């Protein structure tokens, strides 16, 4: 291979290696800028992974639904939850669909964890909130002590055209980051 071809191929590979993470960052920033904020009620669990770092495992409360029509889904299938807000900014899943909504920006792709005739349980795709090492131990303590009753802890999630970003966890009206 000639040096000129080597330099051209090397340059193309280097550009691709820069563009892929840049595109991923751009997509997340787009969701943060244009997304709609939803509050997802959560319950406590807090593990630590030595390879990933400190995080809060989010256990969502509203994950079981009765469908008005039978959806032919099984464990592990991906489906789409059309979401909206109630008067308190909390997420409300309006309906579950097998295909992504065409003219609906407010939806997320979820996974079926259980299904029978018309009852479906789902797993949300965002189930961890990563923390800075310096704040993680205190946050873990606050999380365990305070997330004991329904309605006092929420994952704050921005959603835009099926994409999502967890931006915070709120306990008793306060950010866990603070």
> Do the beta carbons of residue 45 and residue 59 sit within 8 Å?
yes
The per-residue b/e assignment along 81-104, b for 16 or more CB within 10 angstroms, e otherwise, is bbbeeeeeeebebebbeeeeeeeb
Mean pLDDT, the chain cut into blocks of 10 residues (178 residues total): 86 92 88 83 62 72 78 87 86 87 84 85 86 74 69 85 87 81
The pLDDT value recorded for residue 154 is 87
How far is it between the farthest Cα atoms of the chain?
Answer: 68
For 79, list phi and psi in degrees, rounded to 5. -135, 175
For the whole prediction, is pTM greater than 0.75? no
Alpha-carbon gap, residue 140 to 122, rounded angstroms: 26
The pLDDT value recorded for residue 130 is 79
């Amino acid at each position: 291979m000639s040096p000129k071809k080597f330099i051209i191929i090397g340059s193309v590979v280097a550009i691709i290696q820069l563009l892929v993470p840049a595109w991923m960052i751009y997509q997340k920033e787009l969701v943060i800028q244009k997304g709609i904020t939803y509050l997802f009620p959560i319950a406590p669990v807090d593990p630590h992974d030595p390879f990933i770092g400190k995080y809060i495992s989010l256990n969502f409360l509203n994950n079981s639904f009765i469908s008005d029509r039978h959806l032919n889904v099984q464990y592990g299938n991906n489906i789409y939850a059309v979401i909206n807000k109630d008067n308190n900014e909390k997420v409300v899943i309006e309906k579950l669909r097998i295909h992504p909504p065409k003219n609906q920006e407010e939806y997320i792709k979820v996974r079926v964890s259980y299904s029978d005739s018309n009852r479906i349980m789902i797993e949300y795709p965002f189930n961890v909130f990563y923390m800075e090492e310096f704040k993680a131990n205190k946050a873990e303590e606050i999380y365990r002590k305070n997330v004991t009753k329904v309605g006092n802890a929420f994952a704050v999630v921005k959603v835009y055209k099926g994409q999502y970003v967890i931006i915070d966890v709120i306990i008793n009206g306060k950010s866990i980051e603070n």
